[in-house]
Amino acid sequence: MNAPSLTIGIEEEYQIIDPATGELKSYITQILEEGKVQLHEQIKAELHQSMVEVGTEICKTPAEARAELVKLRKGITELAGRHGLVIAAAGTHPFSSWETQEITPFERYLGVKNDMADLAQQLLIFGTHVHIWIEDKEFMIDAMNVARYFAPHVRALSSSSPFWIGRNTGLKSYRSIIFRHFPRSGIPRRFGSWAEYGGMVDTMVATKCIPDGSKIWYDVRPNHRYPTLEFRICDVCTRVDEAVCIAAIFQAIIAKLWKLRRDNLTFRVYPTELIEENKWRAVRYGLDGKMIDLGKHTEVPVRDLIHELIDWFLRDVIDELGTRKEIEYAYKLLETGSSADRQLRAYRESGGNIRAVVDRLVAETRDGVM
């Protein structure tokens, strides 16, 4: 049984914005080919024309991933700028409406619109997806079963969608609410083996529920194309250092779980319903709430649980991986707040001017990049 390579891939979905109005701009088809000249296959269209997706190359370390993200954010920002547009990274746009957005006229996305109807039109949300390479499929399933428990903790760190169509929703991640409308989403149940997971996917394909595993939209899933465990629970991170931080945390979680397995140890697998409760608390309150410590059967402040995750559970592997700098950026988020907290602060400080939130997002998306 060989150790996983633990290499990293990150996908990010950005908003294309008209700086004159602050509104989303349906424009990806006009810039996609030009973007491919510079970024090749690392730039992609997405469901809505006002969205652009990028993906890093396979990276050995979070530091490499950071260099990739800086390159991609810089390239997309310059590309948009040549067309009089700007880019922002947030899980939802503060005020643009899903009803006025154009679907990208590619076969894949027209198919999603046909299958999902208005649910697809409403899916005006933006995420950060982190891939961790795990070559052993049985360990991948075991890791998914356990890593589900930690997903809400990282979900709280990445919160960046407190607004929806001009409203302060009272939630730190409204993106999660919108995505939950899709089938085959949310925290996955526990699977006993790779064969059990693969059998479920095969049955869905054979009965024409889905064309392939890409339509399994769990918060954590085995990727259908690559030997990776894909963490999909997070809002897109506004600052590049936030994205690198959460990628490093996910990498360290898998490294720790492998170390336990190697030493013939394990971590308790908790019921899906209780993990979903913690996810809801992360969605509603972000870093300011409490979650259930499922081992102790008690409520604990989220900030304390994140400290425990880093300072106790991951402590040994962080130094082995050499990722302390990237992971301890989480402490800054615990002190200054997530993107959602900063957006709400900008909203209050501007006297309720939601356009000021967009301007703040555009500026923060450039932090460390331009």
**Residue 12: strand, helix, or coil:** strand
- Give the residue extent of every domain in the chain: 8-366
Q: List CB contacts of 85: < 8 A, sequence separation 6 or more.
A: 16, 17, 18, 19, 25, 27
Contact 354, 163 (CB under 8 A): yes
What is the distance between the alpha carbons of residues 39 and 31, in angstroms, rounded to a whole number?
Answer: 12
The C-alpha torsion from 123 through 24 and 166 to 177, rounded to 10°, is: 20
Amino acid type, 320: E
**Residue 140: strand, helix, or coil:** helix
pLDDT at residue 2, as a whole number: 86
What is the distance between the alpha carbons of residues 263 and 281, in angstroms, rounded to a whole number?
Answer: 33
Looking up tokens 């990293």, which residue turns up? 8
Distances (CA, A) of 163 to 16, 258, 354: 17, 38, 9
pLDDT at residue 370, as a whole number: 80
DSSP tag of 216: -
Neighbours of 243 (CB within 10 A): 25
* Residue 317, phi then psi, degrees to nearest 5: -75, -25
What is the distance between the alpha carbons of residues 190 and 188, in angstroms, rounded to a whole number?
Answer: 7
Neighbours of 298 (CB within 10 A): 9
Q: List CB contacts of 334: < 8 A, sequence separation 6 or more.
A: 287, 303, 306, 307
pLDDT at residue 85, as a whole number: 98
The architecture that CATH gives domain 8-366 is 2-Layer Sandwich (3.30)
Chunk the chain into consecutive blocks of 10 residues (it has 370) and report each block's average pLDDT, rounded to whole numbers.
Answer: 94 98 97 95 96 98 98 97 98 97 94 92 97 97 98 98 98 97 96 97 96 96 97 98 98 98 93 98 98 95 98 96 98 97 98 97 94
CA atoms within 13 A on the CB side of 50: 26
- 110 by Cβ neighbours in 10 Å (0-12 / 13-18 / 19+) ranks as middle
What is the distance between the alpha carbons of residues 152 and 287, in angstroms, rounded to a whole number?
Answer: 11
Closest among 155, 129, 153, 146 to 259, alpha carbons compared: 146
In the chain, at which residue ranges do the beta strands (DSSP E only) sit?
A: 8-17, 43-45, 51-55, 86-88, 127-133, 163-164, 167-168, 185-186, 217-218, 220-222, 228-235, 290-293, 298-301
What is the distance between the alpha carbons of residues 68 and 118, in angstroms, rounded to a whole number?
Answer: 35
Burial per residue of 163-184, b for 16 or more beta-carbon CB atoms within 10 angstroms, e otherwise: bbeeebbebbbbbbbbbeebeb
pLDDT at residue 320, as a whole number: 96
Question: H or E element: which one contains 202?
Answer: helix 194-206
What is the distance between the alpha carbons of residues 332 and 182, in angstroms, rounded to a whole number?
Answer: 33
